[in-house]
Structure 1
Amino acid sequence: MPELPEMENYKNLLKVKLMNEVITDVQINREKSINIHPDLFKKTVQNQKIIDIKRRGKHLLFQLQNEQTLLLHLMLGGWMFFGTDSEKPDRTIQVRLSFGQKHLYFIGLRLGYLHLYHQNQTEEKLADLGPEPLNPEFTINEFLNRIGSKHGRLKTTLLDQSFIAGIGNCYSAEICFHTGIRPTRDIDDMNEEARGKLYNSMQLILQDGIKYGGYMDNPVFKGDMLTGGFNDRCQVYDREGQPCKRCRTTIVMELISSRKTYYCPNCQK
């Protein structure tokens, strides 16, 4: 599932391609991927200029000239591709936004969605999300205050979108590895020094994830050499049974709240 770095990468790349471009056509192949009648969706979106693309947590917000917002959540298996009809992947397309001869294809939206809201409604839909971890206002003191009220396993807390927005299965594992703490550890057993290290690791890993284009390697457009570059930099995520790149101990996978959790039993205490 795309997480904060993947969605930030999508935002950055698509802003270059789509800012101030007009949506010339809309194609809906799966009505369940949108939230209103297809005719109204098309009428509201078509001929509108994209004036900004923002990210909130794991969501992208395509802001239109008419004060409407397309709210995207890719969920599990969702991704996007921008290009001509001849360049598009041989995959089922749920929604297509056209910009002349080029199109933005929304692929794999079986669980994800592209919903249309007025800007005020969008803010309400996202009101339950926690702070952005890379926002300069989200200081270490703010983090310590927030985690001070949490209990239970570290992994579960990092995945809680009301606690911090944007972290999922991959980056929670990588953050814990960088911190040197097992994701199975109880927060109550972490002292302030360990919590401070966790904050610093979160900042570094998420910034690295963005820098290297996230871990999901489907290109956003033909010739995209950035997207997916973080995949080879993952230390523990999806590496069960492989040797730790640091100490050569075998990476372990456990289930926590039905989520696969990866760690090195030697490097993480």
Structure 2
Amino acid sequence: MPELPEVETTRRGLAPLLNGRSIRALEVREARLRWPVPEALPEHLAGARVQSLTRRAKYLLLDTDRGGLLLHLGMSGSLRHCTPDTPLRRHDHLIWHLDNNRQVRLHDPRRFGCCLPLPADPTHHPLLADLGPEPLDAAFDGDYLFRRSRSRRSPVKVFIMDQAIVVGVGNIYATEALFLAGIRPGRAAGRVTRAEYERLVLHIRAVLTEAIEQGGTTLRDFLREDGTHGYFRQSLHVYGRAGEPCLTCGTTLQTRRIGQRASSYCPNCQK
């Protein structure tokens, strides 16, 4: 699934190409996404001018002078900026036709993404209302995680992947940050110390920032807005490397299922 760095990479790539542009038409080639695309949406958006493209968690928020859109890339989706003569792919379900003879296409093979209208205050949308802080914002720090984790018996990895606690720390980046912080993913969240959470926050920020700078992680068919792949996968320390030697100490990396996800870790470096 595209995670926060992939979504932020998409946003940064598309924002300068969309800001100030008018949407000539929204072409709906397949309306049956995770939630059906409203029938009135194309007519409502025709002629709308894009004012900004922002991100909240793994959602993209497209603001126009005729209202906003909430976009999600689903399990394996992508947004691509291209020319009209670019060959259509089978799962190009939505096409925004822009006033400069360019297009933005939502490619979503599994149809788990969405394109929904937003209220004037996006924080009131039910998909956004209960989200935790952004991991790169000042409100997210070690003291915050320590306070929220007290008496929690769930694994610390599950805890930091809870979108009500902090948004956008998906499986890949939680696995990597826990390794760098020296914390085993299966340890109870309530047994992690304040100092360890402070260290964990620093590594969550660092891992996400590096991934964004490198264009996201190349997994399956995730593509950036220009159709190219990300490169962060070359920097992974433990994710997807179970059975291989730890890059720090040489110990064989182990794996266990935590929260229905495979979790690789080093039994020597992580306590």
Is TM more than 0.5 here? yes
Structure 2 residue 226 is the aligned partner of structure 1 residue 221: yes
* 1-structure distance, mates of 2:151, 2:121: 30
Percent identity, aligned pairs only, is 29
Q: Sort the Cα spacing of 1:260 and 1:198 in 2 relative to 1 into closer, same or farther, 3 A.
A: same
- How big is the shift at 1:230? 1.1
- How big is the shift at 1:134? 0.8
- Match of 2:82? 83
* 2-structure distance, mates of 1:173, 1:89: 36
Task: Describe how 1:1-20 pairs up with structure 2 within 5 A.
Answer: 1-20=1-20
Extract unaligned runs of 5+ from structure 1.
Answer: none
Extract unaligned runs of 5+ from structure 2.
Answer: none
Q: Sort the Cα spacing of 1:184 and 1:88 in 2 relative to 1 into closer, same or farther, 3 A.
A: farther
| Per-residue deviation, residues 63-106 of structure 1 (Å, max 9, x unmatched) | 1111x211012121111211113445744111111114221111
* 1-structure distance, mates of 2:93, 2:62: 17
- Match of 1:165? 167
Contact 1:71 1:115 in 2 (8 A): yes
Partner-residue secondary structure (3-state), 2:81: strand
- Match of 2:146? 144
Question: Cα RMSD over matched residues?
Answer: 2.1
Partner-residue secondary structure (3-state), 1:31: coil
Task: Describe how 1:83-122 pairs up with structure 2 within 5 A.
Answer: 83-87=82-86, 90-100=89-99, 101-108=101-108, 110-120=111-121
The code of the aligned residue for 1:238 comes to: G
Partner-residue secondary structure (3-state), 1:81: strand
- Match of 2:196? 194
* 1-structure distance, mates of 2:122, 2:225: 28
- How big is the shift at 1:149? 5.7
- Match of 1:134? 136
| Per-residue deviation, residues 22-78 of structure 1 (Å, max 9, x unmatched) | 11121112212254532x110111211110111111111001111x21101212111
Q: Sort the Cα spacing of 1:28 and 1:149 in 2 relative to 1 into closer, same or farther, 3 A.
A: farther
Partner-residue secondary structure (3-state), 1:77: coil
Task: Describe how 1:21-36 pairs up with structure 2 within 5 A.
Answer: 21-33=21-33, 35-36=36-37
| TM-score for both structures, normalised by structure 2 | 0.89
* 1-structure distance, mates of 2:226, 2:213: 18
| TM-score for both structures, normalised by structure 1 | 0.90
Q: Sort the Cα spacing of 1:116 and 1:122 in 2 relative to 1 into closer, same or farther, 3 A.
A: farther
* 2-structure distance, mates of 1:194, 1:36: 44
| Per-residue deviation, residues 224-244 of structure 1 (Å, max 9, x unmatched) | 5xx512111111122233333
* 1-structure distance, mates of 2:179, 2:243: 16
Number of residues paired by the alignment?
264
* 2-structure distance, mates of 1:149, 1:98: 52
Contact 1:27 1:97 in 2 (8 A): yes
Pick which of 82-91 and 147-156 moved more.
82-91
* 1-structure distance, mates of 2:62, 2:11: 9
Contact 1:83 1:221 in 2 (8 A): yes
| Per-residue deviation, residues 196-244 of structure 1 (Å, max 9, x unmatched) | 211211121111121111113523215x5xx512111111122233333
* 1-structure distance, mates of 2:187, 2:270: 10
* 2-structure distance, mates of 1:259, 1:89: 34
